[in-house]
Amino acid sequence: MTERIRRMLGCVALVLACVMIASAMSHTLNTADAETTAEQVVTVVHTSPFTQAVADVRDSVVGVSNYQTVTYGGYGYGFGYGYGYGYGNRQQTPESREELAATGSGVVIGEGFVLTNFHVVEDASTLKITVTDDAGETTEYAATLVTYDEVLDAAILYAPDCKLPPVALGDSDALLVGDWAICIGNPLGFAKTTTVGVVSALNRAIESETYDKYGRRATISNAMIQVDAAINSGNSGGGMFSVTGELMGIPTLKYSGSYYSGTSIEGIGMCIPINAVKPMIDDVLSGRIKAIPPETSASAGDDDSVNLTGRPRLGVNIADVNTSTRAARLGQIPDGVFVTAIEAGSPAEKGGMQVGDIIVEVNGVIITSATQLQNEIAGYNTGDVLDIKVYRAPGILDISGSEDAPDGDYVDLQVTLAIVDEVIDQPI
C-alpha cells in the first residue's frame, strides 16, 4: 500500500470519527433541550403568583347580613274584587318583623372582629356574620357593631363565636401603580369569589356628600385606591390583598356607567386604603373601644330610670337634639345631646365643657340620646377620666327652629368624674 493511499484512508477515518462525535453531541443537546422544555411547560402550567396568597386568606373573608325591622299594617286602604269593585278605609294591627335588607362582605382582622364597610351595616337592627365552607355549607354568627366611621365608610363588628384566623395588615402607602390587586368577597351571594387586577391609580380623590358618624351632613373627599379587578354588588367590605396575602384595602364602590351619557363603564373600582382604617382597628384591638357581645347588646341602654344622684357625674343639664328643627333636618348639626346648663365647679366645667355643646361621643361610644348618655356615665366610677367629643358652634342655642345653624367644630375634652350632690333635671 502506497503512502498516498495510507494518508487518504487516515483522512476518511478522521472524518467518520468527527461525524460520530457530532451526532452524539447533537443527540445529547436535543435530549437536554427536550428535558428543559418539558420542565418549563410544567412550571408554566402549575405556578400562579396568586395561588398561595388566595389560599392563605380566602377563609378569613366572610359574609355580612344586615337585617332591618320593617312594620306592616296600620291605617290604610283595603281593596276587594267580586262582581263589583269596592274599597273602604280600614284599620289594621301593625306587624313588625325583621327582614334581610342588605348583604356584603367582611374580613377577619382579630379574634372575633370583622372589618367591613359602614354602608353594609347601616340602619341594621340585627347583624350576622356568614361563613361558607368549600362544600357550600353556611354557618351564621350573631354580631354587634363595635365602631364605625361613616366618612371613611368603614365599620368593625364583633362576633365572638366566629373563630376564623385574622389576616395580616399590609402597608397601603407602599403600593405602586401596576402592583397586583387580589379582591375577594361575596358578589351576588357567590361566597369567596376571587378576582384579580392591578392597581390602576393611587390617591384618587373621590368626593361625596354624606353624614359623618355623628349625624352631621358634610361633603368629604377620600383618597382611594383604583383597581381594575372585577368588583360587583356584595363585594363591598371584602378584601383587596397583595400577592403576599396582606390586606391592602377594602373594596367599597364601582363605577358602572354614566347617568347622563348612558356610557357603560368597566374596570373602575375603588378601595379604601387599609392605612386609613388602622387607627380605628388599633382602638378596637387594643381595647380602647369596648366590644359588647351580641347576647348583652340588646339590653344596653334600655333603662330609662337611671338616677345618678349621689354617684359620680359630669355636673351638667342635658336635652336631646330636637330633630324637627331646620338645623337637624338638614344635617347642619350632629345627633347627640345638648348641654343646656353646667354646674359651677363641676367636672364638666373643669374639663372645658360649655353651654351649647352637643355631646356626640364618650370613650369611643357614639351618643345619640340623653338616656344613652346617662347609661354610659353610670358605668364609670369616681376618678375615671372620660374622653368626650363635643360639637361646638357659638350661638347655636339662640337660633329658632326655622333658622340655619352656625358653623362649628368638633372639640375633644377630658373630664374626670366626681360626685356632684346638687340635684338638677336630667342630671349626669
Q: Catalytic site residue 27?
A: no
Q: H helices within 356-402, ranges in order? A: 370-378
Question: Cα–Cα distance between 322 and 327 in angstroms, integer?
Answer: 9
Residue 29 C-alpha cell reads as 443537546
Adjacent-strand bridge partners of 141 = 129
Annotated catalytic residue, options 65, 105, 119, 172: 119
Q: Catalytic site residue 119?
A: yes
**For the chain, how far is it from start to end, CA to CA, in angstroms?**
130
Residues with Cβ < 8 Å from 126, sequence gap 6 or more? 67, 98, 142
Question: Cα–Cα distance between 194 and 187 in angstroms, integer?
Answer: 10
Q: Catalytic site residue 153?
A: yes
Torsion of CA 202, 203, 206, 207, to 10 degrees: -170
Annotated catalytic residue, options 60, 65, 105, 153: 153
Query: Measuring CA to CA, which residue among 268, 269, 265 is closest to residue 240?
Result: 269
Q: How far is CA 250 from CA 116, 176, 228, 322, 369, in A?
A: 7, 17, 14, 36, 31
DSSP class per residue in 61-97: EEEEEEEEEEEE-SEEEEEEESSSEEEEEEE---EEE
3-class DSSP assignment, residue 421: coil
Annotated catalytic residue, options 105, 172, 200, 236: 236
- Could you give the residue numbers annotated as active site? 119, 153, 236
